């Protein structure tokens, strides 16, 4: 039986590519020297495509694929996918929620602990021989009994909240609308929540609706003893203000997994001891990435078997 043609819009992890090759005849658009020419000659063949949060899917690409019915995206984020435009064309968009909740939540906790306990700075302190020279590093901060504010309480945010309670933290949250199925205190005013918290963790979708939600005012309210953790999108925070406040000490600490212009993190952060940086690794474990890959495949298989 002839395999269904499948267009890969961007690079994928080898395991996922191999699994797709078992089921479909794949074409790698990103390897074409003349991608536009290739599509002009072949676009009608593709009812399905695979992309990722990083590669995305914009309206101009949708217009180049008139036979497209479904796009399966590797990742939970949708800000790089033009879902509204796809819907006008009757195209279904599938992503990979739930399977990455636990490890992404673990990254949030890891960044919170690494930032408050000065893990990276103290690692450098030992490696540089400062301990053996008799120097003493400054005391760090604990999170036991502290109030931690979550900006967003969706799938991943709910898991973070559950895990924080195991550390003895008091969890509060900010969302546009109060959730009536949770017992955590809700703050309508994000600045007020930040003022009352020892740390704020951003875990909300990217896109225009959330751009700059973590404003200078929010970060200043968190203050010199406060910690900001971002595992959402770089765009949800005023990055210029974040850098300036970390430099001046008006914001105490930060743990950052995402940035506005990835992979270009602000170089001004590199020299700071009060910030922990990660290269967008929230879901990046072997186990979770395999589960995400399997979801990409099953999304396609389910579509073609059941519509």
Known catalytic residues?
A: 233, 262, 280
Count CB atoms within 10 A of the CB of residue 254.
27
Alpha helix ranges (H) inside 151-248: 155-166, 190-196, 216-222, 239-248
Which residues, in sequence order, are bridge partners of residue 90? none
On whether the CB atoms of residues 7 and 48 are closer than 8 A, the answer is: yes
Widest pairwise Cα distance in the chain = 72
CA distance 300 to 307: 10
| SS3 (DSSP) at 119 | helix
Provide the pairing of β-strand 70-74 with 48-52.
parallel
Dihedral sign of CA atoms 276, 279, 283, 288 in order: negative
- Preceding omega of 276 cis (within 30 degrees of 0): no
């Amino acid at each position: 039986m002839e395999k269904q043609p499948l267009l890969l819009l961007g690079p994928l992890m080898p395991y996922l590519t191999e699994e797709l090759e078992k089921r479909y005849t794949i074409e790698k658009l990103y390897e074409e020297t003349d991608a536009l020419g290739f599509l002009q000659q072949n676009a009608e063949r593709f009812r399905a495509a695979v992309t990722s949060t990083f590669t995305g899917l914009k309206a101009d690409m949708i217009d180049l694929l008139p036979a497209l019915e479904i796009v399966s995206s590797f990742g939970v984020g949708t800000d790089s996918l033009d879902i509204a435009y796809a819907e006008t064309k009757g195209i279904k968009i599938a992503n990979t929620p739930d399977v990455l909740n636990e490890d992404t939540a673990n990254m949030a906790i890891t960044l919170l602990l690494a930032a408050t306990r000065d893990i990276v700075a103290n690692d450098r302190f030992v490696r540089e021989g400062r301990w053996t020279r008799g120097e003493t590093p400054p005391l760090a901060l604990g999170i036991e009994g502290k109030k931690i504010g979550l900006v967003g309480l969706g799938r991943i945010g709910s898991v973070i909240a559950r895990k924080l309670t195991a550390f003895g933290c008091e969890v509060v949250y900010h969302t546009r609308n109060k959730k009536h199925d949770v017992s955590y205190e809700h703050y309508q005013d994000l600045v007020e929540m930040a003022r009352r918290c020892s740390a704020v963790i951003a875990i909300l979708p990217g896109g225009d609706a959330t751009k700059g939600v973590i404003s200078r005012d929010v970060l200043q309210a968190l203050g010199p003893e406060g910690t900001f953790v971002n595992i959402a999108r770089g765009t949800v925070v005023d990055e210029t203000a974040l850098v300036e406040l970390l430099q001046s000490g008006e914001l105490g600490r930060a743990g950052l997994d995402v940035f506005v212009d990835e992979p270009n993190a602000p170089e001004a952060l590199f020299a700071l001891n009060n910030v922990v940086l990660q290269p967008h690794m929230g879901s990046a474990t072997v186990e979770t990435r395999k589960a995400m890959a399997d979801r990409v495949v099953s999304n396609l298989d389910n579509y073609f078997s059941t519509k």
